[in-house]
Structure 1
Amino acid sequence: MVDVRLEPMTEDQYKPWRVEAEAHYASSVAASGRSARDAARVAADTYAQLLPDESATPGHHFWYARDGDRRVGFLWVKVTDDTAFVYNVAVEAEVRRRGYGRAIMLAAERWCREHKLIRIGLHVFAHNTGARALYERLGFTETGRNMAKDL
């Protein structure tokens, strides 16, 4: 079983991460049926709304996940009252399918418990079956479902 430590992002690390994360979100939106152009606009608008003060936006926490000296992924969480919401979690492509997604989520749970939070939530795109299966194995349950119909 792998284990990771969460290392807070510096401002210099946040800036390139933000560009990459927004692009990845746009590709997930596109994979859900939006045009690439529309998906890019949705991603830009979403990130601007969620992070008006970038990494200094109150309640938001950004970490790189490390296994020893190696960066293996990242995590973005927002805390509201006694609840955490995972806005983004990812494993670096070259180390996927080795247990790091699970390790990052377990590290997130530890951090939440240390901060006396009582619930952790997240959103997963329907097409991301691997992530959905991981979250279910970790005990997450579905609390809602978005649906769409092309016209």
Structure 2
Amino acid sequence: MTDVRLEPMTEDQYQPWRTEAEAHYARSVIASGGPAPDAARKAAETYARLLPDEFATPDNHFWYAYDGDRRVGFLWIAVTEDTAVVHNIAVEADVRRRGYGRAIMLAAERWCHDNSLRRISLRVFAHNTGARALYEQLGFAETSRAMAKDL
């Protein structure tokens, strides 16, 4: 099985990551049926709400994931009480479908155990069937479902 090492993101690494993460979120909004003209604004508002103090927002943790010296992805977790909320996880495009998403999530679980957290939660866009399947395989259960209809 693939294993990864999580290394804390530095403040210098944060802004380029944030720029790409927001852009990816906007693309996911569009892929989920959201209006393209509003996607970038919605992404910026979401990230501003979740990270009002940017990298220094309390209880938020940012890591890059490495396999040896090769960076293979990243992870962003916010901690609330005894729960870790996975706000963002991604695998680098050129190494997808090699088990790194699973390895990053298992590393996240280890971090949660090490920090006495009792629950890990996340949201996943409905169109992201690969991620949804992975999370189900890892034992995540659906706790809510949002639905929409374009008129």
Q: Sort the TM-score into its range (normalised by shorter chain).
A: over 0.9
- Is 1:127 matched with 2:121? no
| Structure 1 residue aligned with 2:32 | 32
| Structure 2 residue aligned with 1:101 | 101
Separation in 1, partners of 2:35, 2:79: 32
Residue 44 of structure 1, CA deviation:
0.6
Aligned CA-pair RMSD: 0.5
- Find the residue that maps to 1:72 and give its secondary structure: strand
Separation in 2, partners of 1:35, 1:85: 26
Which amino acid counterpart does residue 10 of structure 2 have in structure 1?
T
Separation in 1, partners of 2:102, 2:37: 33
Gaps of 5+ in 2: none
| Structure 2 residue aligned with 1:16 | 16
Superposed, which structure 2 residues align to 1:56-135 within 5 Å?
A: 56-135=56-135
Separation in 2, partners of 1:106, 1:55: 24
Gaps of 5+ in 1: none
Which amino acid counterpart does residue 57 of structure 1 have in structure 2?
T
Residue 43 of structure 1, CA deviation:
0.3
Residue 34 of structure 1, CA deviation:
1.4
Which amino acid counterpart does residue 11 of structure 1 have in structure 2?
E
- Is 1:139 matched with 2:130? no
Question: What's the TM-score once normalised by structure 1's chain length?
Answer: 0.99
| Structure 2 residue aligned with 1:7 | 7
- Find the residue that maps to 1:75 and give its secondary structure: strand
Separation in 1, partners of 2:71, 2:139: 26
Of 58-67 and 32-41, deviating more is 32-41
Separation in 2, partners of 1:20, 1:61: 17
Residue 35 of structure 1, CA deviation:
2.0
Q: Which runs of 4+ in 1 moved over 2 A?
A: none
